[in-house]
Amino acid sequence: MSQRKKSEYLRKIPKVDELLGAEEVRRLLNFHPKEVVLEGIRRGLDRLRREILTAEKAQDFKEEIFSISHLLPLFEEEIKRQVTPHLRRAINATGVVVHTNLGRSPLGERALKHLVEVSRGYSNLEYDLAKGGRGTRYFHVEEILLRLSGAEAGIVVNNNAGAVLLVLNTLAAGKEVIVSRGELVEIGGAFRIPDVMSRSGAILKEVGTTNRTHLRDYEEAIGEDTALLLKVHTSNYRVVGFTSEVTLEELVQLGKRHNLPVMNDLGSGCFVDLSSYGLEKEPTVQDAIKAGADVVTFSGDKLLGGPQAGIILGKRGLIDKIKINPLNRALRIDKLTLAALEATLICYLSEGEAVREVPTLRMLTVPLEHLRRRARRLARLLERGTESAEIEIVRENSQVGGGALPLQELPTWAISVKPHGAPVEALEAELRNLDPPIIARISNDRLILDLRTIQDDEFKAITQGLTQALKQISD
């Protein structure tokens, strides 16, 4: 389209004041604030301008595009975008249980109920009901954490990166922290142990090599400026082959000989031995405390299945120092997270209840045959409402995710969808645009819906959403 023609079309776009005089637009003011309606109109007109400026042919446009009947849906769509929260529920059909980009671990019903109950009114967050005076927020979870772990004391902050930062700043600011070169991990979002150590004021002292570190490496590195021995669980990768590492027990004994505390950052902490359910052995919090670690840090979400939080457990004298660090104020946990965390931890008083009630554990330990039965049920629902795609039940592998058990493949059952006459990428994209969005994955030119991470109450939304998406890409 020529520039002259584009300019002609642009001049035909109605002005905002004119549009506000239209009855159809005035009706929108009955449901939305004027500022929202005005912004919706501006955004809608901007979209129309962009369409004109990028158009290649004049015949792509007709006079009707400037009419209120054509513009009104644009305005309504832009108004809806403003008043609809960006953060919303999504259906995870990827098979990645602890999906970092999808919010990691979903909360269980007990946690959700307690969170709502606490948040809808006032609470005893920092009020001691027995004494009738000021209390501490850590009281609500410390006792149960000590019961589950065997530790002497504990504190929780807003996330595990904050927990690591706080411990290092308290115990080793201006001093050396010795850590194996093979444990200098990086997790998602470019969180690196060396960077956090630098921000904490501690001085990193690497020992050993990437694949082999011996006890003598630590011992030879100890000097008068050494404040802490650090062991980091490499939860998101494994070094295999010609390797050697120092166990936590060995490091603890070395620390005792030199009167140095030992810190163990578990990353994805867990109170349940997953090897009992056929998964790889992952060190539990109890293991670390029993081995003698002076301080243990781990996440409240991920394998634990609660909200995002950083949990610090260990010897009372060290934890008391950590609690009074002024930096703790900047990292402290809020009441909503505390409520969800406490309710999640209560489930762990019984391992059987934790496996039933904590969604992350339930998804990780669900029997394969149960997944197969659910796959058959979902396939029947999809076949009834879908004729424009080939539906199959297939064997696949799920992933734990969240930087945990990187070598673990979880056999699973899934639904394979092959659209007729349209690329599978178009179907995958269309599913992401639904409400709620359905996040799936593509394998061998087929869309895969993994039953491990799909909940029973999501079957209806998936059935309706897939039907709608297939219709959209076939039109």
Distance CA 336, CA 332 (A): 12
Q: Global pTM? A: 0.88
What is the per-residue pLDDT across 111-130, written as a single tens digit (0 to 9) for each? 999 999 999 999 999 999 99
Q: Residues 210, 270: one domain?
A: yes
Domain count, the chain: 3
Q: What are the Cα distances from residue 69, in Å, to 39, 43, 189, 214, 230? A: 18, 16, 46, 75, 67
Burial 354-385 (b: 16+ CB within 10 A, else e): bbebbbbbbbbbbeeeebeebbeebbebbeee
Mean pLDDT (whole number) for 185-200: 72
Residue 316 sits at the vertex; the CA angle it makes with 313 and 317, to the nearest 5 degrees, is: 125
| Stronger pLDDT, 87 or 18, i.e. the higher one | 87
Q: Is pLDDT at 385 greater than 90 in this prediction? A: no
Q: Residues 343, 467: one domain?
A: no
Q: Residues 212, 239: one domain?
A: yes
Domain membership of residue 150 (yes or no) is: yes
Domain membership of residue 348 (yes or no) is: yes
Q: Residues 165, 247: one domain?
A: yes
pLDDT band for position 10 (cuts 50, 70, 90): confident
Q: Residues 263, 390: one domain?
A: no
Q: Residue 454 belongs to what domain range?
A: 91-99+364-474
Confidence at residue 241, expressed as pLDDT on a 0 to 100 scale: 53
Q: Residues 25, 44: one domain?
A: yes
Which range, of 157-161, 401-405, 407-411, 463-467, averages the lowest pLDDT? 401-405
Q: Residues 306, 332: one domain?
A: yes
Cβ contacts of residue 186 below 8 Å, gap of 6+? 192, 193
Point out the domain boundary residue: 357, 390, 415. 357
Domain membership of residue 448 (yes or no) is: yes
Beta-strand runs (E) in 122-190:
127-128, 133-134, 153-157, 176-180, 186-187
pLDDT band for position 215 (cuts 50, 70, 90): confident
Confidence at residue 238, expressed as pLDDT on a 0 to 100 scale: 54
In the chain, the amino acid numbered 352 is G
| Stronger pLDDT, 406 or 53, i.e. the higher one | 53
Mean pLDDT (whole number) for 60-82: 85
Point out the domain boundary residue: 83, 118, 148. 83
Q: Residues 341, 380: one domain?
A: no
- DSSP state for residue 177 in the 8-state scheme: E
Distance CA 459, CA 442 (A): 19
Would you give the distance in Å from CA 442 to the centre of its chain? 21
Distance CA 79, CA 41 (A): 8
User: In which element (H, E) is residue 72 found?
Assistant: helix 68-83
**CATH number for the domain harbouring residue 445:** 3.90.1150.180
Residue 89 sits at the vertex; the CA angle it makes with 162 and 448, to the nearest 5 degrees, is: 105
Domain membership of residue 104 (yes or no) is: no
**CATH number for the domain harbouring residue 259:** 3.40.640.10
Q: What are the Cα distances from residue 156, in Å, to 91, 102, 208, 267, 359? A: 30, 23, 32, 14, 22
Confidence at residue 373, expressed as pLDDT on a 0 to 100 scale: 97
